Structure 1
């Protein structure tokens, strides 16, 4: 009831205050995708959600888009930062992996075995691995977030939605810039770029950055600072007008991150793992003899060719490739040995993990606008090779032996996906359009897994899950698509409705033999209204939806491995509101609100006895993991002309109701509602210099991000604490 009252009052306030960026009529086709033409101004946003440039108000879907200037002003450099600007999107890193949900749809993987239900793309290239999700978000020209299943134009693993990261494009005029920033935790970061034409037909952009930050977390036993960051990045982009009918875009991205992590800690005195762990549950404090260390490296390239093959007909070829390397040299599995424990002092069970992922992809799109029909047809191929090794070493004292028990897993996954698709929007009158499309998918996967135990005395025991086991093979055919109608009620009001289907491929656990999980599907109904009013100085977009969600996959960890279980059927429905109002040229308000009701319809407990749910317990009726009933972001912004330049002040709040961290009823597995408050300042004395300041999580709120269940306990990690900083940028043209 409290959540319902909070959600209702918040919705009323949102309807009174908000709208999406609004709103002067200018040539949208000249704007870059995902940006507004005036940066922090009040202009229509252009997106490429349907693989062509469109005004966001004309797209029959729920979309959030952030411009390059918005990303800079709000210091958005990660998915963690992005979620505070977009209600209904949750990003929870845990054990070095990234779990992402939109509208409550997502997966709970902690080992990197599967793929996310939210499909991430960087410059059109699909990022498959959960370990790569937090990489590559720098030097951006825009971000687009599409809510709901996107089974037609995107297809692969998009049951929850899409997040498109669009890198900054080379400029047509010569320019260069540099930024230097400093924040608390001795956060030092800098970047520089140069961009412009090499010839009349070739443009180049080169970007470099680096950051060094102390850790948020203190290991009281070793003195090591955990969750720190040491990173450097580079991106090279080249655009060329090869001929009058052929243009080319290439991007090469590199990023390397090092950290004393990943780590996790116990966070509830009533829910501590066995063997008995340290009883320190203070946020960002732990007591472990383990020395933590890890690093990740991503290299990604894209090559896009656009050909004008006929009048109004365009062929687009997009080739992508990526390599990911992950080295976790010390990930403490059960964490925190207690030096004062009389039986097992300084107990530690470290994990060493290595991951190597290589991908290639090719997509062709043939699109055009013929006699009132805007159409697109395409084909897509994707191949991934994912190899991982993991070693878990049990402390000898647990077995009463001088020799440790070592568990080793070696896993090689090959995934292939191929699909063909078509989509069209047909104008049946000046005000009414019908749209629809279909996609046929073929998925194939094989998983060669070998698990061995090195026992005291030197004996090696292997499981019966040897490489080339035919029971570790998966082949699937599926069809997805959408069908809908949109109608212009006036020049400023558009209504739409659609049915759609999304699909995410199945697979296998990467450390438990013959543990197959089924493909995930979402059948969705959505209806929406996009409006502009107050002389186009305000917008309010509303969408209601219903999901029939099947086979959501959830990982459950024990000391003997991590298995994957599935909930055969779930239901979600809800309401999204998004908008902005420009009171005048000085003051504006913006925000978005997400209301979600979710529940498992068929789901039997497995491995939950220690959490109060014996195997076979019916979990029907419980809310899905990480699906808050209500969440919202609300901001106010003032743009003040001063004697020398412009000063922009912005304050924003993110609010969420409580939600389940995991499916069981244990109190330790539920996160209470919380609020986050941020403030930003941007001062531009002229077109050359910009000063930006920020403070995030002003109230220093603590909440749990991701949770790993093991034996009878729960470990996880907390959000970043209060952070603040300032940066100085110079731009020369």
Structure 2
């Protein structure tokens, strides 16, 4: 509990220490009355004070994100203990209250979806979520199966960027940090006419020095000689993103908003690239991956030397390269005194290449090129009551047409060549058409009590198509090159073999499934006073069935269903100087979709059932003029109740691993019973806290100080509970100074991971030289920026 104690210590010490600073600094004017400001959210598809919203919501303003140094979506977990966000292969993995999905294969969707400006992103590619020009972020906890679109079974992360306005505004930021990191950010807003305005945001990031080195072996035939000194920089990346909006209000009752965005990025960060710290890897062993022996690898295999935490040893540099764009249009139309109409149309397309070494060592053995397909179109209509209506209601319809997967995945390299194979070409794609109708109504029962009911009916049509072609060299099956197509489905859409693959020459039929589901919600809330509200809710969430796309070689998974019970209390105390919210929750999961893992490729399956339950709180207090304290915490118990027989063969199917007795440093996959095991990415305890202090010093200027700490207990990376991420405490801080004579200029200095904590942000295991692999989170980083505001 040292991390939690450190946060509490900071919060306890801050008021007295900063009060001395405030007392010593001459004040330009007498103290003003200080209170917490209202936070307006749209968690129920209408503007509403967060304290009047009968569900657990964390809302953070854009100004608070800047002050706390939150610059990307992965760092949002530092401000909400119920939220756990990882990153792997170019996409983020989102968990709320233990519910989530660590799978990053294209086509598979998250149990906690991410929205930007009310548009659902099927694949949460990290470059789209550069948090520049953000108005606010809302984290909705628990299933949102009524009002939100597809797959909101664990919760929703909604990011809202700034809308154009009639107030001219410009902000430019230029920053430099260690690891030769440069950032340029720009935001501008311009009124064009009294009914037309536009804004534009630009962000450029370049980290030119890596956190570690790519080490080469002294002797590949004798790994005991260790690594050569030096090595190329590793863990680098660069990106650029643009976003523009136009707001046209042709009449007093009509608003049309057009949005366009673009991103381009290249990054090594977040890609599994070295053995998990404390474990070992081995030189390639052909028997563990089906690839042939290569001349420069020892036989039998040898254990690889240990690496420093941020170092790797790779024959092939790994990276994720992504380029994408999207457009959306929103129409808001008032229909007299009856209702308001909303239409949201969106199209998005992203092209991504994930280039990977087949084993995370210095041996040129296998090379993977994953060409990722990611495109979607969505349309939503809403008809909702006027804001002043006594009975609030909303009716809506939603449509999604999405295509995701790999076209194609190419597996080549000397390890394939040794078997007479030029390369293997895997095609695996999933097409989704989703239709939904929904409605929700809130009816008052007297002056202080409301009852809310919601209902949604969803039809998901999921079609998978794919093939695996093995391209042999001339001379293997005759004088000409030969291609063998591995049939992956038979006419009954069943498994082709023990691992789902049958090497039989033949075409692979397309496969399709249709899933239909009712989801619903019921809530009662009661206000004891204007500042104290209690609520109780039951809701059902649903994540549609899905195909595995790497490769497409098995039946579609069954839908994941979450039934949630939640009670909460929302309060504002001491003349609105303290805001304290508490919630208790109980989630029952049926058919949770899990990553069962398989050598070299991905294997998705349904487990039997799981349960997560716990308590969370968040508190904010204004304890002096300009001084705000924050503290939040979560206790979570998340376990598989019945892992089940996931492939129906009567055996235990929770994948785990042991070191091979015949191939040192390589892994053998085994199956164990994971019933009763803790779920992945689920820390039992998490706390976050900090303070923000703003003051004016006469003759000097304005000073802004922000500190934020986040502590979490250890958690398991996978259902087998074999590899754990140890407990960690991350402390960030920043100070900004606006000189009195230059009120349009700010100098800001920041530091993240002040204690230089070593931690990992993802994990993957497979039976080969890759072994237990992972990628590190950022070490201590620090820098400064110059900010211009007009």
Q: TM-score, normalised by structure 1?
A: 0.89
**Corresponding residue of 2:485:** 462
1:293-312, CA deviations, whole angstroms, 9 ceiling, x for partnerless residues?
43112212221111111215
Maintained 8 Å contact 1:385/1:412: yes
1:366 Cα deviation from its structure 2 partner:
0.6
**Corresponding residue of 2:738:** 684
**Corresponding residue of 2:380:** 363
Change (3 A) 1:278 1:393: farther
Change (3 A) 1:394 1:607: farther
1:453 Cα deviation from its structure 2 partner:
2.4
- Secondary structure at the residue paired with 2:102? coil
Given the alignment, which residue of 655, 666, 671 partners 1:608? 655
Point out the structure with max Rg over C-alpha.
2
Unaligned runs of 5+ in 2: 15-31, 217-229, 286-300, 490-505, 645-651, 660-667
Maintained 8 Å contact 2:566/2:585: yes
- Say which is worse superposed, 385-394 or 707-716, in terms of deviation: 385-394
Change (3 A) 1:226 1:518: farther
1:136 Cα deviation from its structure 2 partner:
4.8
Given the alignment, which residue of 92, 96, 117 partners 1:123? 117
1:482 Cα deviation from its structure 2 partner:
0.6
1:297-355, CA deviations, whole angstroms, 9 ceiling, x for partnerless residues?
22122211111112151001111111111022x31232112xxxxxxxx3442211111
Q: Does residue 620 of structure 1 match 2:620?
A: no
Q: Does residue 438 of structure 1 match 2:433?
A: no
- Secondary structure at the residue paired with 1:575? strand
Change (3 A) 1:413 1:532: same
**Corresponding residue of 2:702:** 646
1:140-175, CA deviations, whole angstroms, 9 ceiling, x for partnerless residues?
111111111000100411111111111111131222
Maintained 8 Å contact 2:58/2:140: yes
Maintained 8 Å contact 1:228/1:260: yes
1:74-118, CA deviations, whole angstroms, 9 ceiling, x for partnerless residues?
232212221111112111112333211011100121423410011
**d(CA) in 1 for partners of 2:459 and 2:163?**
34
**d(CA) in 1 for partners of 2:175 and 2:6?**
36
**Corresponding residue of 1:302:** 328
1:2-30, CA deviations, whole angstroms, 9 ceiling, x for partnerless residues?
x8x998x8999999999xxxxxxxxxxxx
Q: Does residue 219 of structure 1 match 2:214?
A: yes
Maintained 8 Å contact 2:35/2:576: no
What pairs with 1:80-479 in structure 2 (closer than 5 Å)?
80-131=74-125, 135-214=129-208, 215-221=210-216, 223-260=231-268, 262-268=271-277, 270-272=279-281, 275=285, 276=301, 278-328=304-354, 330-337=355-362, 346-369=363-386, 372-393=390-411, 395-396=413-414, 403-404=420-421, 406-455=423-472, 457=476, 458-465=481-488, 472-479=511-518
Change (3 A) 1:132 1:445: farther
| Larger relative strand fraction | 1
Change (3 A) 1:564 1:213: same
- Secondary structure at the residue paired with 1:508? coil
Maintained 8 Å contact 1:158/1:503: yes
**d(CA) in 2 for partners of 1:623 and 1:134?**
32
Maintained 8 Å contact 1:396/1:404: no
**d(CA) in 1 for partners of 2:184 and 2:320?**
23
- Secondary structure at the residue paired with 2:78? coil
**Corresponding residue of 1:723:** 781
Maintained 8 Å contact 2:89/2:104: yes
Change (3 A) 1:263 1:11: closer
**Runs of 4+ displaced beyond 6 Å:** 9-18
**d(CA) in 2 for partners of 1:16 and 1:500?**
38
1:552 Cα deviation from its structure 2 partner:
1.9
Q: Does residue 55 of structure 1 match 2:15?
A: no
**d(CA) in 1 for partners of 2:634 and 2:52?**
21
Unaligned runs of 5+ in 1: 19-37, 338-345
Given the alignment, which residue of 507, 521, 525 partners 2:546? 507
**d(CA) in 2 for partners of 1:727 and 1:426?**
50
**d(CA) in 2 for partners of 1:622 and 1:55?**
39
**d(CA) in 2 for partners of 1:379 and 1:113?**
23
Maintained 8 Å contact 2:429/2:466: yes
Maintained 8 Å contact 1:335/1:349: no
**d(CA) in 2 for partners of 1:551 and 1:565?**
9
1:556 Cα deviation from its structure 2 partner:
3.6
Change (3 A) 1:292 1:469: closer
**d(CA) in 1 for partners of 2:776 and 2:767?**
21
What RMSD in Å do the two structures reach over aligned CA positions? 2.8
Maintained 8 Å contact 1:472/1:514: no
**Corresponding residue of 1:634:** 689
Change (3 A) 1:622 1:416: same
Change (3 A) 1:397 1:201: closer
Change (3 A) 1:305 1:721: same
Q: TM-score, normalised by structure 2?
A: 0.83
**Corresponding residue of 2:729:** 675
1:454-506, CA deviations, whole angstroms, 9 ceiling, x for partnerless residues?
34635432221379956621101001111010000111100000000111111
- Say which is worse superposed, 106-115 or 538-547, in terms of deviation: 106-115
1:678-709, CA deviations, whole angstroms, 9 ceiling, x for partnerless residues?
11112223541122221111111111221112
1:249 Cα deviation from its structure 2 partner:
1.3
Maintained 8 Å contact 1:90/1:626: yes
**d(CA) in 1 for partners of 2:440 and 2:254?**
24
**d(CA) in 1 for partners of 2:338 and 2:65?**
34
Change (3 A) 1:514 1:692: same
**Corresponding residue of 2:605:** 565
Maintained 8 Å contact 1:146/1:161: yes
Maintained 8 Å contact 2:343/2:379: yes
1:238-260, CA deviations, whole angstroms, 9 ceiling, x for partnerless residues?
11111122111111111111224
Change (3 A) 1:601 1:13: farther
Maintained 8 Å contact 1:426/1:434: yes
- Secondary structure at the residue paired with 1:594? strand
